[in-house]
Amino acid sequence: MVKPLKPIFLYSLNPHRNSNFRRFTHLGRLQFSSKPDFFEDNYRLSFIISKVLDILSNPRLHWQTSAELNSLSSKLRPRHVGKLVEIHGNTEVALQFFYWVSKRHFYKHDMSCYVSMLNRLVFDKKFVPADHVRILMIKACRNEGELKWVIEYLSELKRKGLGDSLYSFNTLLIQLGKFEMVETAKSAYQEIMSSGTEASLLTFNTMINILCKKGRVEEAKLIMSHIYQRELSPDVFTYTSLILGHSRNRDLDAAFVVFDRMVQDGIDPNAATYTTLINGLCTEGRVDEAMDMLDEMIEKGIKPTVYTYTVPISSLCAVGREKEAVDLVVSMRKRGCEPNVQTYTALISGLSQSGLLEVAIGLYHNMLRKGLLPTVVTFNILITELCGAKKVDRASRIFHLIEAHGYTPNTITYNALIHGLCLVGNIERAMVLLSEMLKVGPAPTVITYNTLINGYLKRGFLDNAMRLLDLMKNNGCKADEWTYAELISGFCKRGKLDSASALFEEMIKHGLSPNQVNYTALIDGFSKEEKVDDALALLKTMEARGCTPGIETYNAIINGLSKQKRLLEAEKLCNKITESGLLPNVITYSTLIDGLSRNGGTHLAFKIFHDMKRRNCIPNLYTYSSLIYGLCLEGQADNAESLLREMEQKGFAPDYVTYTSLIDGFVALGRLAHAFLLLRQMVDKGCEPNYRTFGVLLKGLKKECQLLSGEVSVLHERVYSSTASNNDVSFELLCTLLDRMSEIGCEPNAGTYCTLLLGLSREGKTYEADQLIEHMEEKGFSPTSAVYCSLLVSYCNNMKVDAALEIFDSLVQQGFRPPLPIYQSLICALCRRSRLKEVEVLFENMLGKQWNNDEIVWTILIDGLLKEKKSELCMKLLHVMESKSCPISFQTYLHKAERKAALQMREAELWLSLTFKELTFCRSNAQGSISIVVNSHLLMAFYMSSKVGIGPEETRAAILIDFLTHTPQSKGTSMNSCCFL
């Protein structure tokens, strides 16, 4: 929102002769007019004004038809017009020019022009035209802040003689209603009523409408009484506004009472009346009644407008009646009512949410072909739905179209695209969008930060998630229950229960009441780490604090109990679920079944399986997969396969987990041929094997090779022994796997090779991966960028830096943008090889790309170089960023200092030295409370140093005091910090 501007006060002096007036109007122009182009020459500005002034002042020239003025008019800007209005000698001519230029299609007055014109008219006491300009000024307000300023300014004009008029009052009320400034409108209304101005029906109706839009019907009824007091009669607009008010309050019975009274009073409802009631019915989900009312208005000869159709179309889509919605569009067009942007937007939204995204996009293009300009709402719907479908590239293209159509993306737009990017794992691009929001707006919301935090957690970047939480707080955005729920869950999934518990306590400390989701996340974490007693204790705490557990809460504990074979306790908890009014669901039963199946209790698992079917609880894929796993674990692979067939007959499609368990079962029994047959079935049904699936088959092939080798050894009376571990995968074994796949008609494709390559890279088997790539290329396939990235990281870990650089250069040349972890791996590997010059070149090249600067520091400097104990190089690269104007938040400086403090004690001296260098930079560039926070980390440096006896205490204290006393932002905290030392 634009901040209210300070009012400009009039000087009762002659504008043509007094320098004070000229100085005042000049200030007014500076405050309001658009800033001149940075390179515009003052001479050029003066030249345009001078030329136009000459034309306007020529009595022999009819300036309105002047070709020269027409040519110059395209160059006129509000700052020119404001100046011309101020300095022209004839007020009437200035006014006519003011009107004339406002009608040019390329020009629009800003507030400074209205100020200049009104100041002059009021000074000359030309109050009638001043009233007209005042009305135009009110109508020109673009936002609440601007209108507030105009009200203050016009109040000052009243004291200079510009009296009130009913027209201007009504215009002001209408504009206040447009910006929903209800309290200000009430004040303006009271002023009208107390000013002696005779209010019209429009005045009352406008005020009633403003109140009813907010559901404030009782206040609107009080205004309606004023209509009767003035011996006026309510009209259709009055009644329709009251109907709207009741509809906003979701009181349709009262709305229809007003409708009936309106008809009894002999006032015919119009299209707006019916539209309001139809919209109210749709909002309440009474779509059929709304459609009946639409038919009623048509029967009565009232022509529905495009707005009448829009909400029913949207409502029909929302309840899955897309065909009826499309038919309604066809019907409206037959009646000569063409769909507008809102109609298309409603239909696009409905179709998208009904799973018909491609149809919705086609409708969007059809709208463009018809010359209809989409709104930000239209764009937001498309971006949201495309991102939900993981079609982020298409969503990004639409995102960039918003500004091309003259709009500015809002928070919803950014949040939708950030969500989509996080959904596909592109957190780096999402963080760039956060940078844009922080730099130019709109301001990120808690939803923005929560989405990004969740994106980091899904990729396992726990440190970055916490850093983002700190950045969020530092930027004035308060974390909510969902923020902590995501963090607690994320840390629990990675086995970081201590951190998760600390976050839970921090949440309470900040005054947030843990909800069911927060408790369940931590309980689930305890249960998965087999700390079931802690989970049960937390469940009691949850209940004691008045937070009711949900079925998910109980399921989490049942999972932990069943894994520990504490079946009696799990059964009691199931009884407790029923007693609390909840019903055990498929997850409850499947959780028990899974726990039993994994711990040799498959026979008990089947009892529960049959029991859940008796209770009409339909098993799901997870249920069957757990049983299949349990059977295979017990050597009953044939029974497991029979269960697979039953599962398919029930309409469940087995996934890679199910098939892999079954394949593993047959491999364990030595029935490798049947295992490969299952692989063929798996692929034929569109289920792609993963690396674990192939790993199971490789294990079987290796076992088969060893057996064959053993038989040959017996024949030759030699003993054969294999020293290779089960994890060893040779290129020859991989080729055997690929050949066996071909033999069973399951020809390896690009996906097969890429799956194997990704697995090999993760395991650090670069030699085998290189050989497999050659084999792959011989077959006419090429690895994906994901494969190359994974192999590059593996090369770096194995110190094969040149091979990694070769891959990196190849990817960049092909236009691929490597993510930051790739840069981190390369930079750290180069450091370990002491190739520091290459590090600097690579880092500087990276800065030329579009990144979030904080994330660069987090990933490259903190998690990369500081982790490698390369503090000096870290500082050097930080200064490279500063020299290239890559600003980072102070919170990031803080994180870097914390990471340094975590280094080993022998690094403390270097840490302290570098910290002073960094703090010197901070002192010279300090903003806000930067040094206040830094002080505590400087103290941390002293503490670290004292552990290894660096320097006398007096010296360290003196340095700290010097820093504190020479940093203005630290005043008021210096003594406290020093006392701590």
- Rounded distance between C-alpha atoms, residue 644 and residue 587, angstroms: 19
Residue reference for tokens 């049942």: 558
Token digits of residue 473: 């707080």
The label of the residue with tokens 């509809």 reads 247
Q: Which of 625, 648, 636, 760 is nearest to 694 (CA)?
A: 760
Q: Do 164 and 151 touch, CB atoms closer than 8 A? A: no
Closest by Cα among 574, 605, 569, 568 to 590: 605
Residue type, 396: S
Q: 592 vs 431, 492, 576, 639, CA distance in Å? A: 41, 21, 15, 20
Element containing residue 613 per DSSP (H, E): helix 602-614
Q: Which helix (H) or strand (E) holds 290?
A: helix 287-299
Q: Are 731 and 772 in contact (CB under 8 A)?
A: yes
d(CA 863, CA 857): 8
Query: For the chain, what's the residue count?
Result: 981
Summarize the chain as % helix, strand, coil (round to 5).
70, 0, 30
Q: Is 125 left (phi over 0), alpha (psi -120 to 50) or beta?
A: left
Give the per-residue pLDDT at 613. Answer: 84
* C-alpha–C-alpha distance, residues 944 and 112, integer Å: 60
Contact 327, 335 (CB under 8 A): no
- Tell me if 899 sits within 8 A of 862, measured CB to CB: yes
Quick one: CA dihedral 737, 739, 741, 747, positive or negative? positive
C-alpha span between 908 and 917 (Å, rounded) = 14
Tokens matching residue 273: 């009346």
Q: Give the tokens for residue 390.
A: 């993981």
Q: How many CB atoms lie within 10 A of CB 106?
A: 8
Q: Which of 54, 53, 298, 13 is nearest to 160 (CA)?
A: 13
Calculate the dihedral angle through the C-alpha atoms of 628, 631, 633, 636, rounding to the nearest 10 degrees.
Answer: -120
pLDDT at 16: 36
- Cα distance between residue 796 and residue 761, in whole Å: 11
- For the chain, 981 residues long, the average pLDDT of each consecutive 10-residue run is 36 34 34 40 67 87 87 88 91 94 89 94 94 95 93 92 91 94 94 87 96 95 93 94 95 95 93 94 92 93 91 86 89 89 88 84 88 90 92 93 88 96 94 93 95 95 94 92 92 91 92 91 91 93 92 91 84 86 88 86 89 88 94 94 93 93 94 95 93 94 82 38 51 94 93 95 94 94 94 95 95 92 95 94 92 92 88 88 85 67 47 49 44 43 43 45 45 38 35
Q: Which two tokens stand for residue 159?
A: 């004291």
Closest CA to 26 of 112, 99, 101: 112
What is the Cα Rg of the chain in Å?
37
Structure tokens at 901: 């403090």
Question: 555: how many CB neighbours lie within 10 A of its CB?
Answer: 24
The Cα 333–Cα 345 span in angstroms is 16
The b/e string for 781-811 (b: 16+ C-beta within 10 A; e otherwise) is bebeeebbbbbbbbbbeeebbebbbebbeeb
Task: Print burial letters for 822-851: b (CB count within 10 Å at least 16), e (below 16).
Answer: bbbbbbbbbbeeebeeebbebbeebbeeeb
On the CB side of 267, CA atoms within 13 Å amount to 18
Q: What residues have CB less than 8 Å from 10, skipping those under 6 apart?
A: 119, 122, 123, 156, 157, 160
Please give the pLDDT value at position 636.
95
Contact between 466 and 435 under an 8 Å Cβ cutoff? The reply is: no
CA 216, chain centre distance (Å)? 34
DSSP-derived 3-state class of residue 374:
coil
Residue 975 CB-half CA count within 13 A: 1
Three-state SS for 840-875 is HHHHHHHHCCCCCHHHHHHHHHHHHHHCCCCHHHHH
Structure tokens at 23: 């100085």
Report DSSP state, residue 949. T
